Amino acid sequence: MDVVRLLSELVRIPSVNPMGRALPDEIILESRVTSFMEKYFQGLGIRTQRFEALPGRENLVAFLDPPGNPSQTILFEAHQDTVPVDGMVIEPFCGKVDGGKLFGRGACDVKGGMAAMATAFTKIHANKRAGMPQLIMACTVDEEHGFYGVQNLVSQNFLSGKKAESIWAVVAEPTQLHIVNAHKGAVRWDLVAKGVSCHSSTPHLGDNAIYKMARVLPCVEEYAKILMDSRSHPRLGKPTISCGTVRGGTSVNTVPDICSVQMDRRLLPGETPQGAWNDFNTWMKNNCPVAFEVTEPWLAAPALGDELSGQLVDHLGAVIKKHIDTLDVDAVPYGTDAASLAEAGISTVVFGPGNIAQAHTKDEWIDIHQLQQAVDILVDMVLGIKDS
């Protein structure tokens, strides 16, 4: 199965992350992709393992063990889930090829990267030899919402006692075949204002939680300005915080007794999710005169620094230049699974075909030529390593 056919088949399998919402019955999270990829690897005679990360949602890990006892391990990692399909103007799960592009939800983010890694895995398997590193491919769940898949992966003993310093990890995301070796992290929580409900014909008998939240939010805006002036990173810029959703009320004729706002805090390398949450909570309690509550974080993903990945960047960069003549090493504002691997001491970069500008779009697609180039680069990256 070539990479285009494999990607087309993956796109045709819905694996929508609910993002906290209910889903239609025909979309059952990542489970069908997990089974498809398990069958794919087992058809090659490859050893696989499943690890439950969330109820009914499993990480799949495939192991290519070359002859001998290699001292180095290469880890390919790609997430199985996609964002929802609301507002798409094409058939979301079509997998259609047209004009050098392949269309559908996940084609760019990140089933294209998964297909490239799996195809490279197949080619490396066919050419495995003594002296090459062990190759592992992990297909994880829940990257688009909570990062629970990769965090569960790190907590499992799937590396069989390998030391972190002996592992190089490549995480699939649409980087246009650039190397990303630094990105921001994220921590998210809810800010809550509580009131007293009553009939809207007598609002003076209640306590409107939406009004309360309206008085809390100017304090959040002031904190956001102070935060941006507090520190900066030479490649990633400033830390940020923003309000993403507001929820309050049950009906127009009822005074609401609760209003909540989802907060998104972007982290710089060196910051911790808990530390960022603590700082916000302390500042707000000291400076906001209105009563509110702050929930514990429901997402916590660290930032990716560039301290560990120097040798990996040099090696992968040389391979990229051999295939496409140019090399870009970027720092980006979005988060990925890479940071959780790096936090475990593993040298990690982000790399893959596709443009992040196409991710999550109404007509999501990926460039087929870039998809094929990614396969060749990943094959040469692994087979070009001689075990010491």
Of the pLDDT bands very low, low, confident and very high (cuts 50, 70, 90), residue 368 is very high
At which residue do the structure tokens 């979005």 appear? 334
- Position 22 scores a pLDDT of 73
pLDDT digits (tens, 9 = 90+) for 22-37: 766 556 689 999 999 9
Q: What is the mean pLDDT of residues 62-83?
A: 93
Beta-bridge mates of residue 54: 57
273 Cβ neighbours under 8 A, 6+ residues apart: 185, 186, 187, 267, 297, 300, 301, 302
Token pair of 50, please?
């499943």
CA distance 228 to 266: 11
CA distance 348 to 336: 11
CA distance 125 to 110: 22
CA distance 260 to 19: 17
Closest CA to 326 of 134, 195, 177, 159: 177
Helix (H, G, I), strand (E, B) or coil at 171: strand
Residue 327 buriedness (CB in 10 A; 0-12 / 13-18 / 19+): middle
What domains can you pick out in the chain, each with its CATH number? 3-183+303-383 (3.40.630.10), 185-301 (3.30.70.360)
Average pLDDT value over all residues in the chain = 95
Of the pLDDT bands very low, low, confident and very high (cuts 50, 70, 90), residue 19 is confident
Of the pLDDT bands very low, low, confident and very high (cuts 50, 70, 90), residue 387 is low
Four-residue CA torsion sign, 83, 88, 91, 95? negative
Of the pLDDT bands very low, low, confident and very high (cuts 50, 70, 90), residue 62 is very high
297 Cβ neighbours under 8 A, 6+ residues apart: 187, 188, 189, 273, 274, 277
Length of the chain: 388
| pLDDT above 80 for 1 | no
CB 29 within 8 A of CB 123: no
